[in-house]
Structure 1
Amino acid sequence: MNTSEIKQRLARPAIKFSAGGFRPLGTDEESWLGNVFLFRPDEGVPTNQAGQQLLPYAQFYLPALPFTSPLLKGIRVLTVFISNPFPEHFEPMGNNWVIREYGPQDVLIRKALPVEGSFLKAFPLKAQAVPQDFPLWDGGGVPTDVEQAILKLERAGEIQSYYDLITHTYEHKIGGYPSFCQSGVDPGEGFEFVFQISSDAKIGLNVIDSGSLMFWKHIQTGEWALYYDFY
């Protein structure tokens, strides 16, 4: 297996997001961090069992993006709410974190619903297509046979390191691979990585210590899973 074959095996498309740097248009067809303003008429900000409001983390308007994950097919708007402090790793969705998915037929209205204690600064997102995102080496998604081929190339002196071959997108993104800080984890059979929200000083987010919030979705049940790590 040569370097071209290795890259072909591993590459996945992604959309990288950067916060701010431009004036928002004020339409419903924008994606945001630190701001959720689209709700069904009967919805408000979700709360946990203690009655505390979850913080608005993200609102993604998917039709405006260059492409999206197959697991988001049929979803027009996706919103994310998370508690402070963060939920436990792989804690089931519903109490301390909530993702809401809206299809083309869902009636959504704009609501200004401030959340007490929200520390995230609201910024619109600029999307950029990343044709090739690659997994991190340590548990990031390199199959065993590809790993052995890379080690063989290193021993032969054809490459010095796996990272001579690849690039990885650490920013906020949909698609691609998760940006593990520690050794990677497997959320379980049937789950595929969908998106992440990374530490970003501009929006006031530090995931413990420069980490990322990573989200997977089950290909059959549609169940979501949340994990995060840090340096």
Structure 2
Amino acid sequence: MDIQLIKQRLARPAVKFVAGGFRPSGTDEESWLGNVFVFRPDEGVPTNQAGQPLLPYAQFFLPAMPFSSPLLEGVRVLTVFISNPLPEPFEPMGNNWVVREYAADDVLVRKALPVDGSFLKPFPLKAQAVPEDFPLWDGGGVPADIEQAILTLERAGEIPSYYDLVTHTYEHKIGGYPSFCQSGVDPGEGFEFVFQISSDAKINLNVVHSGSLMFWKHIETGEWALYYDFY
């Protein structure tokens, strides 16, 4: 297996997000971190079983994206709320974290619902297309046959290492591959990686110790899964 075929097999498109650096438009058709302001008329900020509000982490307006995951087909707006402290990795959605999906025909209204104690600094997002994102080597999604092909190329001296072949996007992103800090994990059969929110000093987010919040969705049931790790 040659280098070009390996890259072709592994590459996935993504869109990465940069927080701030421009004046927000003030419209509902904008993506944010640390801010959620669109809801259904009967919705508010979700709370946990103790009645404590979850923190608004993200609002993504998908039609404006240069790329979106196939698992978000038909989704116009996606919002994310997470507790402080963070949920346990792979804790079921509903109590300490919530992803809300809205279709094009959902009636949405703009609401200012600040959450006391939220440490996240709100910033609008600038989306940038990433034509090719590649998995991390250690459990990041490299299939066994491709892993062996890469090791063969390394032993033959044709490439110095896997990371001389590929690049990986560590920033906030939709699509591509998850940015594991430790060895990668498998959330289970049928789950595919959809997006991540990474540690970012600008928005005052440090996922334990420079980690990322990574989100998967089940291809059949639509169930969401949340995992994070850190250095």
TM-score normalised per structure 2: 1.00
Percent identical residues: 86
Q: Which runs of at least 4 in structure 1 moved beyond 3 Å after TM superposition?
A: none
| Counterpart in the other structure of 1:89 | 89
1:169 match: secondary structure: coil
Alignment of 1:65-144 (within 5 A): 65-144=65-144
Count of residues in correspondence between the two structures:
231
Q: Which amino acid aligns with 1:22?
A: F
Alpha-carbon shift at residue 57 of structure 1 (Å): 0.1
Q: RMSD between aligned alpha carbons?
A: 0.3
* 2:206 is aligned with 1:192: no
Superposed CA offset, 1:85-124 (max 9, x none): 0000100000000000000110000000010100000000
Alpha-carbon shift at residue 67 of structure 1 (Å): 1.7
Superposed CA offset, 1:19-45 (max 9, x none): 000000100110000000000000000
| Counterpart in the other structure of 1:156 | 156
Alignment of 1:197-212 (within 5 A): 197-212=197-212
Alignment of 1:3-22 (within 5 A): 3-22=3-22
| Counterpart in the other structure of 1:228 | 228
Task: State the distance in 2 between where 1:51 and 1:148 align.
Answer: 51
Task: State the distance in 1 between where 2:67 and 2:56 align.
Answer: 24
Alpha-carbon shift at residue 60 of structure 1 (Å): 0.2
Alignment of 1:2-81 (within 5 A): 2-81=2-81
Q: Which amino acid aligns with 1:121?
A: K
Task: State the distance in 2 between where 1:155 and 1:114 align.
Answer: 56
Task: State the distance in 2 between where 1:139 and 1:106 align.
Answer: 38
2:75 match: secondary structure: coil
1:81 match: secondary structure: strand
Alpha-carbon shift at residue 2 of structure 1 (Å): 0.6
1:76 match: secondary structure: strand
Superposed CA offset, 1:118-156 (max 9, x none): 000000000000000000000000000000000000000
* 2:189 is aligned with 1:180: no
Alpha-carbon shift at residue 69 of structure 1 (Å): 0.3
Task: State the distance in 2 between where 1:155 and 1:101 align.
Answer: 47
Task: State the distance in 1 between where 2:159 and 2:196 align.
Answer: 30
| Counterpart in the other structure of 1:145 | 145
Task: State the distance in 2 between where 1:133 and 1:67 align.
Answer: 12
1:225 match: secondary structure: strand
Task: State the distance in 2 between where 1:105 and 1:4 align.
Answer: 43
Alpha-carbon shift at residue 183 of structure 1 (Å): 0.0
TM-score normalised per structure 1: 1.00
Task: State the distance in 1 between where 2:132 and 2:175 align.
Answer: 10
Alpha-carbon shift at residue 49 of structure 1 (Å): 0.1
Q: Which amino acid aligns with 1:156?
A: A
